[in-house]
Amino acid sequence: MEKTNTIAGKKIDKSRIISLEKGKIPPQAVDLEEAVLGAMMIDKKGIDDVIDILHSDAFYDVKHQEIYAVIYELFQNSQPIDLLTVSNLLKKNGKLEMVGGDFYLIRLTQKVASSAHIEFHARIILQKYIQRKLISISSEIIENAYDESTDVFDLLDDAEGKLFEVTQGNLKKSSEDAGSLVKQALKKIQEIGNQEGMSGLATGFTKLDALTSGWQPSDLIIIAARPGMGKTAFVISMAKNMAIDFNHAVAVFSLEMSSVQLITRMISSETGLTSEKLRKGNLEPHEWEQLNVKVKKLSDAPIFIDDTPSLSIFDLRAKARRLVSQHNVKIIVIDYLQLMTAGGNGKGGGNREQEISTISRNLKALAKELSVPVIALSQLSRAVETRGGSKRPLLSDLRESGAIEQDADIVSFIFRPEYYGMTEWDDDEHTPCEGQGEFIVAKHRNGGLDNIRLKFTGHLAKFSDLEEGFSSEFQSSMNNPFDDDFSPNQRIEPKDAFGDDDVPF
């Protein structure tokens, strides 16, 4: 929380006091503040140029903060903005005398003749504000650093978080009134209507996008399954779709597989060449041509992979902030949650269930802070394997912590009946399930639930939309063009598909 002192009943920015104590005046541009406010009251174009750049706290002079707040309120209510309307609203709010009366407002309008260069002036005002914020944040960091009871990793995380807020322009706000929130919601609804119902990030899976309207900013999405079901295959397919088809920047934190292994899977999925062939390099001439042509799209895709093992939630936050800031990353994927550690200080922080709860809670906080969807893969307990009848996962099967279910906005499972030797879905039609998987949305905080069937191509570790009329006969005819020994009915173990015993799907 930003520290302030109270003098004569008014809150005074601590950075100003510290600066004056050192004999320095805080960074400011009061003359430009006067010019910008004057221009906004005489020229509508000036308002349009700066209303998205400045906020009331960016002004150094308290009088200017109040005047800008009134201008912004008039703008939000689509009311005319001039000397008279500003004066009237200030009077209504009981702030007219505080800002110097009508005389001061008139003097502001006489400072300028037009709104020329107003955007340039506004950006200088914002720069001075950022300098003042940095002074305030730095002084608070120094003060906390002298406190022996402060955990150094908490201090680092807090410092980086505050600097990230300044960088993003998302300085922490107090509560907002219902009126402004309703306007934001209406604007969002209108934007969704213009995008034909897709309010979030499209995944490339048609039915899933229809159910969720795309992955939503600030959501924590859990995708859970038993080893070998295809968790990694699903998110790799999804990341490739999002980056190549929709040009969304994707960050993947792979705690289990190396970055080269992960990108090799993506190459296999994109080119149609098995990972075994790519690993051994024994390609035919036409396959080399196929590889070189089709890999071009993937090499240009905005995908960022970090394979740091045993990543802590502290390190993840730091890395994620930089990726969002530097590369405009739109979605974060973590493979997988149980391989993360909770503390940056090397302490376990209690039993494993408490640690997973801490990680889950922090992932949700990270999604809200960065306003991006965070997808975390998770293991399921062995209860699925020992249970009789249907092996379809349940929410109670989430491993190690019920907090995962509580914190997540969406909890989903991946289920492939073939893995358990089944040949038909457990529906009334006894539909063949060869080469298919099910994406089960078991919890959806802001939408409906569904079981979405997808096509699974085992030798490429690839999920895709299930074509209409897809059947076992159709799947059986799709023989692997690169491996005569492959059978669609075969239960794929990690070593069969990729040559690595310890790399589950």
Q: What is the maximal distance between C-alpha atoms in the chain? A: 89
9, two tokens:
């009943």
Which is the catalytic residue, given 66, 140, 256, 369? 256
Q: What is d(CA 317, CA 166) in angstroms, rounded to the nearest whole number?
A: 16
Helices first, then strands: H and E counts in the chain = 20, 11
Beta bridge partners of 413: 224, 440
95, two tokens:
């702030």
Q: Are 463 and 454 in contact (CB under 8 A)?
A: yes
Locus of tokens 């990030």: 201
**Inter-CA distances, 366 with 99, 150, 318, 359, 372, Å:** 40, 22, 10, 10, 8
Q: What is d(CA 475, CA 420) in angstroms, rounded to the nearest whole number?
A: 18
Angle at 19 between CA 13 and CA 21, to 5 degrees: 110
**Inter-CA distances, 243 with 55, 240, 312, 324, 488, Å:** 34, 5, 26, 15, 29
For β-strands 331-335 and 250-254, DSSP reports them as parallel
Express the helix, strand and coil content of the chain in percent, nearest 5 each.
50, 15, 35
Beta bridge partners of 332: 251, 374
318, two tokens:
């730091």
Tell me which residue of 399, 394, 395 sits closest to 380, measured CA to CA.
399
Contacts of 504 (CB under 8 A, 6+ apart): 227, 228, 231, 232, 256, 494
Is-catalytic flag, 33? no
The number of beta carbons lying within 10 Å of the beta carbon of residue 164 is 19
19, amino acid identity: S
Q: What is d(CA 182, CA 454) in angstroms, rounded to the nearest whole number?
A: 38
Task: Locate all alpha helices (DSSP H) within 149-280, ordered by sequence.
Answer: 152-168, 178-194, 206-212, 231-240, 259-271, 275-280
Q: What is d(CA 54, CA 50) in angstroms, rounded to the nearest whole number?
A: 6
Supply φ then ψ for residue 304, to 5 degrees. -120, 120
Active site (catalytic) residues: 256
